[in-house]
């Protein structure tokens, strides 16, 4: 579940920002800032199955439209790689209750 900071700290949310339990979940990190995730399974969050993801906005000088398009294409490709790696780590974490995630 994606929750607020307060709900993250309490390990409880009656109305999460995002919830899924189908096993094939995709969540878009659509803005910069902090995203708070907790497990919705009773007791899991209290045992550490929660995480915070901080999305950064890279600083860059103004560029032409062509350069922006090329940069956006590269960013989309990198985001897909990053998302796939992130989801692999999350699924590994959830599946094994391990807090260690190796590089993909």
Residues 68-91 have pLDDT tens digits of 566 666 555 555 445 555 555 555
- CATH code assigned to 1-57: 2.60.40.420
Backbone dihedral angles phi then psi of residue 68, each to the nearest 5 degrees: -65, -40
Structure-token pair, residue 72: 């956006």
- The CA-CA-CA angle for residues 66, 72, 73, to 5°, reads 95
Residue range 10-26, pLDDT digits in tens = 999 999 999 998 878 88
Mean pLDDT along residues 25-31: 88
Q: Which residue's entry shows tokens 């009773």?
A: 42
Q: How far apart are CA 26 and CA 38, in angstroms?
A: 15
Report field, pTM of the whole predicted structure over 0.75:
no
Residue 100, token pair as written in the block: 């260690």
- Provide the residue ranges of all domains of the chain, joining segments of one domain with +: 1-57, 59-104
């Amino acid at each position: 579940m994606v929750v607020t900071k307060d709900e993250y700290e309490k390990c409880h949310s009656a109305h999460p920002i995002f919830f899924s339990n189908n096993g094939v979940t995709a969540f878009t990190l659509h803005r910069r800032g902090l995203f708070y995730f907790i497990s919705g399974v009773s007791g899991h969050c209290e045992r550490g199955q929660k995480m915070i993801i901080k999305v950064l906005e890279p600083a860059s000088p103004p560029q032409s439209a062509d350069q922006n398009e090329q940069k956006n294409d590269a960013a989309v490709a990198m985001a897909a790689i990053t998302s796939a790696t992130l989801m692999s780590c999350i699924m590994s974490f959830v599946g094994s209750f391990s807090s260690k995630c190796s590089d993909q």
